[in-house]
Structure 1
Amino acid sequence: MTLSGKRVAKIKVKCDGNVFHQCWKDRPVQLPSLTPTTIQNCQTQEGEAGTVGCVLSWNYFHDGKERVAKSQIIDIDEEKKSITFNIFEGDLMELYKTIVVNVRVERDGSDNVVTWTAEYEKLNPDIPDPDTLMDFYRKATEDIAAHCL
């Protein structure tokens, strides 16, 4: 059984893709007001929001429990409306050696598609793949998109 893997979730949204991208890039501390059932708090710990190297701390609700995480923005591609986060501290690190999450917005006709990609390495073969984490990102995306209309 392999320890490394990748999970992808694609969600069609009616909201403006630029607005969705900007929320995650420039205003992550405002995300809890847009999706309070999934993200309770986000604070900038180091650097400036919207820049590579920025460290964010998160309080969120996942798998029926309150969780915490710290992530660093490791890449921003404005042309592709893409942001990549390296999660390096928190509850997920009890299961995964590494977990890198990318969120990207693309046009699909009159809709936009938000694609979440999680690349990970489990600590051992008994650890589940992060399917429920992808469900978390789907729910957060739907909530944020509803507010951005």
Structure 2
Amino acid sequence: MPVFGRLETEVAAKAPAYKFHEVNSKRIHETAKICPKYFQKIDLKEGEWGGEGSVTCWYFVIDGKAVMSREILEKVDNENQSVTYNVIGGVLKETYQSFKFIVQAIPKDEGSLVRWTLIYEKLNVDVPDPNAMLQFGTDVTAEIDAYLTQEELEKKTIA
């Protein structure tokens, strides 16, 4: 009997929404540089960086373990500043039949709100909810926000 689940969290950020969306859609290849604490590397296996249908392998550290996730960039929604990744291999496929990440950046008066949505189907009822992945998304958002905020400060200093 399938066990479906959905988890969401929202993280307030100082950087503008369009900058977050840019990192999650057009600057994916820079993620390991932006978040070296969390990502070891990201390899493009098929397609073009940021292109719908592209396949990437994400090498990251979660709960102190180095792991890999193979994902298809299923959808880039520039209007709503969101991206959808569908996991097709790696550590998450060991315990989940299906797993999707949706990351959306929502503009606010100052900064943005970054919403992480995890949609999954467990292999069995004993599989825990992916709370560690949700926390990972929160932590990565904070790291990206710090990087983007510093990037903007450096641009203003140079100008």
TM bracket, shorter-chain basis: over 0.9
Q: Distance in 2 between matches of 1:101 and 1:62?
A: 16
**Percent of aligned positions that are identical:** 30
Match of 1:44 in 2: 44
**Equivalent residue pairs, number:** 149
Higher gyration radius (CA): 2
- Per-residue Cα deviation, 1:112-131 (whole angstroms, up to 9, x for no partner): 00001000000010100000
Q: Distance in 2 between matches of 1:66 and 1:74?
A: 24
SS in 1 for 2:30: helix
The alignment's C-alpha RMSD in Å is 1.2
Any conservation in 1 of the 2:2–2:124 contact (CA below 8 Å)? no
- Per-residue Cα deviation, 1:13-54 (whole angstroms, up to 9, x for no partner): 001211111111112121111111111111111001121101
Hey, which of these two has a bigger chunk of helix by percent? 2
Name stretches of at least 5 consecutive residues in structure 2 with no aligned partner: 150-159
Match of 1:18 in 2: 18
SS in 2 for 1:84: strand
Q: CA deviation at 1:108?
A: 2.6
Q: Distance in 2 between matches of 1:83 and 1:67?
A: 22
Name the amino acid aligned to 2:69.
A
Question: Scaled by the length of structure 2, what TM-score is found?
Answer: 0.90
Match of 2:141 in 1: 141
Match of 1:122 in 2: 122
Question: Scaled by the length of structure 1, what TM-score is found?
Answer: 0.96
Name the amino acid aligned to 1:29.
H
Write out the 4+ residue segments of structure 1 that deviate beyond 3 Å after TM superposition.
Answer: none
Name stretches of at least 5 consecutive residues in structure 1 with no aligned partner: none
Match of 1:110 in 2: 110
